[in-house]
Amino acid sequence: MRIFLIALTALCLAVSGCTGTPIAAPTSTATLMPTVTPTLISTPIPLPALTLEEGDFYFSIDGQQSLMFSRNVAGYETSQYYQLLDLTSTGGSKFVRIQLDSFGMGYSNTGEVNEAWATKWEDVFEKAALNGIYVMPTFSAWYDWNNGNGYSTWKSNPLNAVKGGPVASPAELFQKDSATQILWLQWMQTLVERWQGRRNILAWEVFSEVNLASGSTETTGIDFVNTAAALIRSTDPGRPVTASIADCPPGSGACYWPDFYKKANIDFVEMHPYPPSAQLDRTIISEARQSLARYGRPVLIGESGLSAATPDSSDGKATVAENAQRGIRHAIWAAVVSGAMNGRALWWEDGVAIYFPALNLPFIQTYADADLQASNFVRGVDFSGFKPLTSASSSGVWGAAVGNEKTVLGWYRDAACEPPDWNLKSNISKQTVTLSVTGTAVNWQVDFYDTRTGTDILSSTMVTRNGDKVTVTLPDFTDDIAFKMYAQK
């Protein structure tokens, strides 16, 4: 979750914003949305078998490595989650990331699981399962353990001494074998034991953006995550475990943890791109490829957005700009060719806008099927062995490609279509892309796809390898175009 933190203003501006629930809970959710009756699925949607095998860089769906789409859903009440899960079903997303503290922190001031809280989440998990959707629960986030002067829920943390709990400082959570750490880990393990039998738990996320919690350091943060991950695996072996840090570039201060993903014993890396430039598509491609090269692990886009700032602020205006939907659509397609294991994973557009009365559900509904076209495009594609490809393009287009020695996926757009306006040229013509491809296939068939459907083939051509390079001449298009290349025997 992302918001500017007053105590960390300079830092957050440097790192494209810190994360957190955007606004304090109102006294009544009636101002946010009307009371709704949960939609009941008369015929449950089958859950595909979803696994992450050792050495793979993509999840497998029913045994085939596939690129998935995901969302961040949010709300104060189960009814809000029901609505967002129904919207998720209208697009191509297969799983949702859920911050468990949305219903409160889930424990008493002596560390026991709050039964009413747990039951509400179980209702949400069941609703997701009926919709054929997996969930990735996140046990806690930085703002629950941050005692700064800006956005922080530490004062309402049941374990806080001022609330009758035993903890004097958030830093105690990160002190190895401290009473606080042991208490929190016992609570976490109790939930894993309770929920491990649910088929639609995709993975466990120990902590969101641990580098923004008060008193944490890279060393103690890594140790905390590794201790929690080991405990989860002993309780629920075989299910993936992850944790995340906020994107903090070199020179941004104490939250820059360059060794975290090298030393954290987790199954995949998370990235949380919120570029100050609002160039989300470019950032996704560059950060995913950097992370793959640096860490050699699968990369998940945990959350993302055109801006880290709240949509009702001057710094967050990119999120609600006139052509912001174009920027979001480009980011979704960029994820397809980035090398990341998923796409979409939006913050405001997927769910957190539910907290803003001026946006709420109508804003989220405008993005309900934003991933559908890209999902159509990748359906049935075997991503086994897919890696980011080196490419160069003529000046009028920008994009990227991924693939292996048999199949290549490419996506390119009008190079001038950039924020804050995302204006388009009427026609992009006579542009070329040169790709470095693996294998020995000389001839390749190229099918060009309409990105407005992800299924319609606009035209096809044959191209020939020259050394390790294949040059593709793009047909005329407006906005963007995608293609699939197949090696010919």
Does residue 227 share a domain with residue 298? yes
Q: pTM higher than 0.85, yes or no?
A: yes
Instruction: Return the CATH number at 49.
Output: 3.20.20.80
Which residue(s) pair with 434 in the sheet?
Answer: 392, 471
Does residue 315 share a domain with residue 405? no
Does residue 443 share a domain with residue 350? no
SS3 5: coil
Of 29-43, 119-133, 403-417, which range is least confident? Answer: 29-43
pLDDT surpasses 80 at 146 = yes
Single-letter amino acid code for the residue at 144: D
Does residue 425 lie within any of the structural domains? yes
Task: Supply 220's token pair.
Answer: 């103690």
pLDDT value for 185: 98
366-420 pLDDT, tens digit per residue, is 999 999 999 999 999 999 999 999 999 999 999 999 999 999 999 999 999 999 9
pLDDT surpasses 60 at 24 = no
Does residue 227 share a domain with residue 147? yes
| Total domain count, the chain | 2
Does residue 348 share a domain with residue 204? yes
- Pick from 344, 378, 412: which residue ends a domain? 378
Does residue 286 share a domain with residue 234? yes
Whose structure tokens read 């790709």?
435
pLDDT surpasses 50 at 3 = no
252-272 pLDDT, tens digit per residue, is 889 999 999 999 999 999 999
pLDDT surpasses 80 at 34 = no
- Pick from 358, 378, 398: which residue ends a domain? 378
pLDDT value for 41: 52
Instruction: Return the CATH number at 410.
Output: 2.60.40.1180
Does residue 384 lie within any of the structural domains? no
- Pick from 378, 413, 439: which residue ends a domain? 378
Does residue 370 share a domain with residue 447? no
pLDDT value for 101: 95
Does residue 1 lie within any of the structural domains? no
Does residue 200 lie within any of the structural domains? yes
Does residue 291 share a domain with residue 436? no
What is the rounded (10 degree) CA torsion for 375, 358, 302, 146?
A: -170
Which are the contacts of 73, defined by CB distance < 8 A and separation ≥ 6? Answer: 81, 84, 85, 88, 96, 97, 98, 350, 351
Average the pLDDT over 34-58 and give the result: 75
User: Where does the pLDDT of residue 346 fall: very low under 50, low under 70, confident under 90, or very high at 90 and above?
Assistant: very high
Q: Whole domain around residue 76: which residue ranges?
A: 6-378
H-type alpha helices, 196-308 = 218-235, 260-263, 280-295
- Indicate the helix (H) or strand (E) that contains 83: helix 78-90
Whose structure tokens read 């480009």?
330
